[in-house]
Chain A
Amino acid sequence: MARKLMKGCEAIGEAAIKANCKLFFGYPITPQNEIPEYMSRRLPQVGGTFVQAESEVAASNMLYGAAGAGERVFTSSSSPGISLMQEAVSYMAGSELPVVIVNIMRAGPGLGGILPSQADYFQSTKGGGHGDYRLLVLAPSSVQEAVDLMQDAFDLADHYRNPVMVIADGLIGQMMEPVEFKEDRQPCRSLPSKDWATTGWKGEGRPRAIVNSLFLDPNLLERHNEKLTAKYAEMARNEVRVAEYFTDEDYDLLVVAYGSVARVCLSAIRQLRAEGKRVALVRPISLFPFPTEVIERAANKAGRVLVVELSTGQMLEDVRMAVGKDFPVAFHGRTGGNLVTPDEAREKILAQLAAREASR
């Protein structure tokens, strides 16, 4: 299939349709309105259903019901709306429901602004709702990668019976890039049958399906938590996704960045390498599970790390955890919807290279 120029938000919607998702429930919020608009146009064409819910609270609970009935379903929102969904996210994690949630992040806290941000890293990777749970969190850095990760997200959700969150900043949502939808795409994981779904109980063939996260007996609830924890450990073993740039060459500084910020850093690094500066980049694609081992190894080779984010330092904590407290880790962050430019990244990288030189 030929490459087509598509806006990130619309490409995300089309990817869901290609993943055979026939249901979308959502509520308008900038900067992701192109997703519900696209779904409202496209889903009826493929026999699907679009519902504009009365709130993100309702939309996320519609997701719960539809996933509980065994269908592929997704919603999208932006930061304040995702906050409203956290109740249902916790219930869906507790009830082990496979859903896909897209967060086109905007700057916060509170109403904040509508420009790009990566400040929902904690919310998505550490559990934004109540209780012990984890989401699989994927962060694309291009429109094509958003398409690929969206399709994988549905497979991963079904495989693990777990909510998967795709987080991108407003930049990825709003920009247009060429995309290609692969013909004959195969699921990226095995898809177990959904015999747990509430499709109507015939009295035989399977136990009565009850979608539920209520366990009043502490021992039963503890066992349920242990089961979930084992699942999250399995995700951590099998689902780390990471892109490495120049890490098999010699380098004096490792940059860690994700999403669109990683592209900006990569532009600066390519330019610097052409000038003889030795810099490498690790770009986490899965934020949970976090590529701890890759970062630890790559960081040790450099002896110095620079983390760049559109936040005041959230992924930074996971990088610090990966390299240990005595390791020199510098940070550069922008907030408020301001972006990191290649020149700015270049300047910060050069400063770290100079600091490394000075500390020798």
Chain B
Amino acid sequence: MKDKLAFGYPEGLTTGGTHYCPGCTHGIIHRLIAEVIDELGVRERTVGVSPVGCAVLAYNYFSTDYQEASHGRAPAVATGIKRARPDLMVYTYQGDGDLASIGMAEIVHAANRGEKFTVVFVNNAIYGMTGGQMAPTTMPGQVTSTSPRGRELDLAGHPIRMVELISTLHTPAFVARGTVIRPLQAVQTKELLRRAFQYQKEGKCFSMVEILSTCPTNWGMPPAEALNWLEKTMMPYYPLGVFKTPEEGVDRAPLPLCGLQDGGK
């Protein structure tokens, strides 16, 4: 009987270190993506796209062809690649400032056109690379370098829930949210990623997985504490789960208009 490798280094990753901070969960997410690419056997036809953000150097870490994108534009770049070569497996790896702020138009329209690539959206509620500024996903009251009194809702509004927003679009898509702060959740998130890539492989639809992630450095807390903060503060506001699949119906019934007939009571 031949020996079977139970655990090893994914082929989808390059060897050598990363520039990520200690305690950052980008490394785990990279590994999950690489494992999914390996398991689906698509590494030789996969192209990643990373825009500006902490993952700006991701092309050094994934052993696939890669394109760097300008800030927010990864879904447009990925559209170009996928439309030019539909045989390729294409994914974007975007942060919250990138996807939910400067790149809002690109993500919404790529999703709405049903572009057949996969979006990995890493939400750590802060701008990491530029040094901890407020993001569109920063939590109410969360102190950042540009919200020194904490996020003030009357000035900055509430955090944007991207998977909820994207899942209101009619175009069939796979939209889900996971996290990687506990081993079980990492395994679940890997399953979400696997489904997202599988749908793409089958030429089915746009797919997007949001992954709640920590930023101990810019949150100003030790890694273990960051995990707890994410669980207590972010998870109630950003619930985990599958929000949309291409198989099920997509339109929710609107709530009834109230008060039109009874004098506004």
Indicate whether A and B are direct neighbours in the complex (CB within 8 Å): yes
A residues near B, CB below 8 A? 23, 25, 49, 51, 53-55, 57-71, 73, 87-88, 91, 95, 198-203, 208-214
Residue contact B106 to A198, C-beta cutoff 8 Å: no
With a CB–CB cut-off of 8 A, which chain B residues contact A95? 68
* Contact A200 B84, CB 8 Å, known A88-B70, A91-B70, A210-B68: no
CB distance from B121 to the nearest CB of A (A): 18
* A69 adjacent to B109 (CB under 8 Å): no
Q: Is the CB of A69 within 8 A of B81?
A: yes
Residues of A within 8 A of B56 (CB): 214
Instruction: Verify B68–A213 contact, CB threshold 8 A.
Output: yes
Q: In residues 67-97 of chain B, which contact A (Cβ within 8 Å)?
A: 67-70, 73, 75-85, 87-88
Interface membership of B201, Cβ < 8 A: no
Question: Which residues of chain B have C-beta atoms less than 8 A from A51's C-beta?
Answer: 79, 83, 113
Segment touching A, from B41-49, B142-150, B234-242: B41-49
Q: How many residues of B contact A (CB 8 A)?
A: 36
CA of A54 to CA of B63, assembled, Å:
32
Identify which of B44, B49, B67, B70 contacts A202 (C-beta below 8 A). B44
A211 and B105 in contact (CB under 8 A), knowing A61-B73, A65-B78, A203-B44?
no
Query: At the interface, yes or no: B66 with Cβ under 8 Å from chain A?
Result: yes
Known: A67-B80, A200-B88. 9 other contacts (CB 8 A): A23-B84, A51-B113, A53-B76, A91-B70, A210-B59, A210-B68, A212-B59, A212-B66, A214-B68
Indicate which residue in B68, B75, B85, B109 contacts A211 across the interface (CB closer than 8 Å).
B68
- Dominant secondary structure of chain B at its interface with chain A: helix
State whether A212 and B68 are in contact (beta carbons under 8 Å apart), knowing that A61-B73, A200-B88, A201-B63 are contacts in the complex: yes
Do residues A64 and B80 form an inter-chain contact, with CB atoms below 8 A? yes
Tell me the minimal C-beta distance from B59 to chain A in angstroms: 5
**B200 close to A (CB within 8 Å):** no
Let me know if B81 and A208 touch, CB within 8 A.
no
Contact (Cβ within 8 A) A64 B47: no
CB distance from A43 to the nearest CB of B (A): 11
Q: A91-B70, A211-B68 are in contact. Are A199 and B85 (CB under 8 A)?
A: yes
Which of B66, B87, B106 makes the CB contact (< 8 A) with A209? B66
What residues of chain A lie closer than 8 Å to B47, measured between beta carbons?
Answer: 69, 198, 200
Q: What 7 A-B pairs come out closest when comparing CB atoms? A: A65-B80, A61-B76, A66-B80, A198-B65, A65-B77, A54-B109, A62-B80
- B109/A68 in contact, CB under 8 A: no
Docked Cα-Cα span, A71 to B105, in Å, equals 25
Structural contact, B64 and A201, CB atoms closer than 8 A: yes
Alpha-carbon separation in the docked complex, A91 to B83 (Å): 20
B81 CB to closest chain A CB (Å) equals 4
The reply to whether B105 and A199 form a contact with Cβ atoms under 8 Å apart is no
Cα–Cα distance between A63 and B75 once the two chains are bound (Å): 12
Closest to B88 in A: A200
Q: In the assembled complex, which residues on chain B have CB atoms less than 8 Å from the CB atom of A55?
A: 105
User: In residues 7-51 of chain B, which contact A (Cβ within 8 Å)?
Assistant: 43-47, 49
Cβ–Cβ < 8 Å partners of B70 in chain A: 61, 87-88, 91
Cβ of B129 to closest chain A Cβ, rounded Å = 12
Selected from A54, A64, A208, the residue in CB contact (under 8 A) with B69 is A64
- Identify 20 residue pairs between A and B in the complex whose beta-carbon atoms are under 8 Å apart, listed by A's number: A49-B83, A53-B79, A61-B80, A64-B67, A66-B80, A68-B81, A70-B85, A71-B84, A71-B85, A87-B70, A88-B70, A95-B68, A198-B66, A199-B85, A199-B88, A200-B47, A201-B43, A212-B59, A212-B66, A212-B67
